[in-house]
Structure 1
Amino acid sequence: MYDIVIIGGGAAGLFCSLSAPKNLRKIILEKNSSLGKKVILSGGERCNVTNIDITPEDDYFGENIKAIHSLLSKFSNYDMIDWVEKHGITTCVEDRGRVILESGKSKDLLDLLVRESTKNGTEIRTRFDITKIEKTNDIFRVHGNDGSIVEGKNLIIATGGKSFSQVGTDGFGYMIAKQFGIEIVDPYRGLCGMVTKEDLSGLSGSTLDLTLSLFDGKKLLYDEKGSFLFTHTGLSGPIVFNAVIAVGEHLRKLGIKESQQKSYFNENITIKLTFNEESMTKKVKSFFELDETKNEVIFHLSDLKSWEEAKVTGGGIKLSELTNVFESKKIEHLYFIGEVLDLTGKTGGFNLQQAWATGYVCGKGFGEN
């Protein structure tokens, strides 16, 4: 019998396990053959640990953005940087405030997380594919496809979202929430490219710094200046990835389901690009027929890139369903942390920071109890 069973060995699950009291018996159940696949891939495998400059209202999306203020007061981006450097790993700050490992090796941080987790008394089981979870007489029973059963007094869901399945995510956490009657915000794709009605393949591969503005009719939904990339099917780059979350949040508020999105995009959503002197290259000028009097172009959004390409999932478990240590208000001793929550950040280390912080607060909460 375990005191704490954590499903998911990513950033949130690992940080929760190393933050919980050492005297409690803990286990991480991970379906992949190794832990922290998304940690490894973060920042182009250089690990974008966090961001040096976080403004919750600007950098996060969800129904309850105010929650990030409380979360960061308990474990901030600076706390994470201090924790990493205290353990001998040096960080540096790059463009857009991204905090990166100076070694350029994500594995350095993952090895540290696993080492500190096991040092804190956590058992780890990989290749554990779950077939069923049930709660009987205040005990959670987690069934594996090998016939084994893991029992625990507390169950923590840290399984990530449903996008970017190459790291093992499949929406499992949402299924558990629904099983126990916990409300979720319908998941949507985040941090992926956009497909336009217009053929932009002639500019494919062109990287520029410019301003992107996203509109629903005449209503401005999102506006950001930064790095941008034309692709053979449309638009990509950091400011496009962020705009995708903004449009996902907009459609959520309108109550538009995923099956209706493409039709809504085609009829309503436009993208305006404003070029500055540096970004108005000869190739761009010629393609769009730009000059001193015309430095803007407008495209029509046709679709978003696939769930497979989306780096994060927006939506998720409603924070109003959880306590301040992320325990379900309906089901005692059931917790949700990390990307499975309805608290999604922009690209640039914001989502990993959410994972570290929710894992920390949840883990430390067991000591307070």
Structure 2
Amino acid sequence: MPQNIAVIGGGAAGFFAAFSCKVHLPDASVTIFEKTGKLLSKVKVSGGGRCNVTHACFNNNDLVKFYPRGGKQLKKVFGQFTTTDTVAWFEERGVELKAEADNRMFPTTDSSQTIIDCFLRETDKLGIQVVLNANVNSIQPKGSGFDLQIGEKIQHFDKVIVASGGSPKAQGFDWLKDLGHEIITPVPSLFTFNMPKEPIKNLMGLSVPNATVRVQGTKLQQSGPLLITHWGMSGPAILKTSAWGARVLADLGYNFKIQVNWLGAMNEEELRTWFVNSLQSIGKRKIRNKNPLDLPNRLWDFFLEKVEVDGEGIWAEIGKKNLNRLINLLLNDTYEVKGKTTFKEEFVTSGGVVLADVDFNTMESRKCSGLFFAGEVIDVDGVTGGFNFQAAWSTGFVAGKS
């Protein structure tokens, strides 16, 4: 008899798991249950509405390094479906992807709707059923399958794939805990830093191409573009720091200090030498007018005011004391963080079903035979750049195939 398969969750991982099910088991009946009235909501808003589908990292040994949690386990999954397969899968369905300078990959249309339309076409083509506003309240093993309580109804399925995504609270995983799974308490990952007392917020919208951010009192340090926002700081340097430090920063109550090297990897000796060499050619220029480091002008003015250097003075007369203060600020600028801001629809968590409870060769539960997992419901998350979607495609593919 054809198998009756339920996929819980109408997001990226859920759809990809359903596609894989139907391709590998054409006679199976596959139904996606989505608890809300919206499908693929993270796909819709990802990448500012462009959908950061994956990342142009085509070596699995390198790819797994972008996952603060679960990288080692994902290597088994990427061995079955990786970034190369993702690009091919979309192109086979008429969706061409492009890689940008930072290796993030988007549809050439720059529209997430292109991905959503592709998925909906594939759903129709494969005969997958989709049920909206269908909250699965419980899963009960019954015989060789499962009884799912969906609203007021109980429906029986032979196999179940859980792709319900992350939850901001541990209680959101109680229904899986009831099946014997250990749950890692979820905390936010990929969030921006709030700086309510820092005047740099007045420069919102400015960015630098490569800064290094270090959290004082920890080993956390990341580099990349940094964006100043109306609440504090964001951009890849901040988001990567929040991902790798998700649990550390939660333990700190999101109250900590960061040091920013606005020049990326440059150290004091290099910067001091650079200044000495540059002063010969810019000595007669006004300090405010000649910004030798190609930083945004408003940011440069902010720095001069912060270290109390007269921008109307000339470089030749800056003096040793002022130069030392400027060098120290450029390399060790300090800011106080009090709180975080998460992206509502793009909310990413660290936590979920403990990795040891999942066989990553198949994505089947080690605690409940016939139950499979895909996506962020497990304790796997990546940094910004398309890595969380790649984990969704890959785990979904393997769960459906298995």
Check whether TM > 0.5: yes
Q: Give the match for residue 7 of structure 1.
A: 8
Contact 2:46–2:346, Cα closer than 8 Å, also in 1: no
**Equivalent AA in structure 1 for residue 219 of structure 2:** L
**Equivalent AA in structure 2 for residue 52 of structure 1:** A
1:18 aligns with 2:19: yes
Structure 1 residues 1-53: Cα deviation after superposition (integer angstroms, max 9, x where no partner): 96211100111111111111111221111122232111121222222110002
Contact 1:16–1:363, Cα closer than 8 Å, also in 2: yes
Contact 2:208–2:262, Cα closer than 8 Å, also in 1: no
Q: Give the match for residue 255 of structure 1.
A: none
More strand by share: 1
TM-score, normalization: structure 2?
A: 0.79
Unaligned stretches of 5+ residues in structure 2: 265-291, 308-322
Over 3 Å counting, the alpha-carbon distance change for 1:131 and 1:362 in structure 2 is: closer
Over 3 Å counting, the alpha-carbon distance change for 1:26 and 1:311 in structure 2 is: same
**Equivalent AA in structure 1 for residue 386 of structure 2:** G
Q: Percent identity?
A: 28
Q: Give the match for residue 319 of structure 2.
A: none
Aligned equivalents of 1:237, 1:81: Cα separation in 2: 25
Looking at CA atoms only, which structure, 1 or 2, has the larger radius of gyration? 2
Q: How does 1:289-328 map to 2 (within 5 A)?
A: 289=304, 293-294=327-328, 295-296=330-331, 297-306=333-342, 308=344, 311-323=347-359, 324-328=361-365
Cα deviation for residue 198 of structure 1 reads: 4.0
Contact 2:12–2:393, Cα closer than 8 Å, also in 1: yes
With 42-51 and 206-215 compared, the bigger mean Cα shift is at 206-215
Cα deviation for residue 309 of structure 1 reads: 7.2
Contact 1:214–1:272, Cα closer than 8 Å, also in 2: yes
Q: How does 1:247-258 map to 2 (within 5 A)?
A: 247-250=245-248, 258=250
TM-score, normalization: structure 1?
A: 0.85
Structure 1 residues 101-132: Cα deviation after superposition (integer angstroms, max 9, x where no partner): 01122222222223223433322111212333
Q: Give the match for residue 108 of structure 1.
A: 114
**Equivalent AA in structure 1 for residue 18 of structure 2:** S
Structure 1 residues 230-267: Cα deviation after superposition (integer angstroms, max 9, x where no partner): 1232111122111111111445xxxxxx5x532xx43x
1:345 aligns with 2:382: yes
Q: How does 1:1-369 map to 2 (within 5 A)?
A: 3-20=4-21, 21-53=25-57, 55-62=62-69, 64-145=70-151, 147-162=152-167, 174-196=173-195, 198-199=197-198, 200-217=200-217, 219-226=218-225, 228-250=226-248, 258=250, 260-262=251-253, 265-266=254-255, 269-275=257-263, 278=293, 280-289=295-304, 293-294=327-328, 295-296=330-331, 297-306=333-342, 308=344, 311-323=347-359, 324-365=361-402
Secondary structure of the residue aligned to 1:12 is helix
Aligned equivalents of 1:8, 1:282: Cα separation in 2: 47
Over 3 Å counting, the alpha-carbon distance change for 1:349 and 1:30 in structure 2 is: same
CA RMSD of aligned residues (A): 2.4
Unaligned stretches of 5+ residues in structure 1: 164-169, 252-257
Structure 1 residues 183-216: Cα deviation after superposition (integer angstroms, max 9, x where no partner): 1222111222112364132222222223122234
